[in-house]
Amino acid sequence: MSYYQHHVFFCTNQRENGDACCATFDAQAMRDYAKQRTKELGLHKDGQSRINSAGCLNRCAEGPVIVVYPEAIWYTYVDKEDIDEIITSHLQNGIPVERLMLDPQ
């Protein structure tokens, strides 16, 4: 059993050699936005949801990426609207957002 109902990891890795990485998609700002939204919605209390940064999640070609545990559901996203949809559908209502899901590999 997980401590958090949902634990969300945003890849915020920056590759120094200039190769494609999640940081080039403004991943840190998107992570910050998700953290702010979950606080605004009261989802950060009592072990509900936790938003964290992660180093490289090794899925750079599919980036930007996040993974939600304990379900181990991988997502990609384009903008804040996608993040809002993940928060509303998955974190609040327990329904994964299929259109944004990546293969678990």
Peptide bond into 96 cis (omega under 30): no
Long-range contacts of 15-21 (CB under 8 A, 24+ apart): 15/56, 15/60, 19/60, 20/60, 20/61, 20/63, 21/56, 21/60, 21/63
- Cα radius of gyration rounded to whole Å, the chain: 13
CATH 3.40.30.10 describes domain 6-100: yes
| Tens-digit pLDDT string for the chain (105 aa) | 678 999 999 999 888 887 778 888 899 999 999 999 999 999 998 889 999 999 899 887 888 999 999 999 999 999 999 999 999 999 999 999 999 999 876
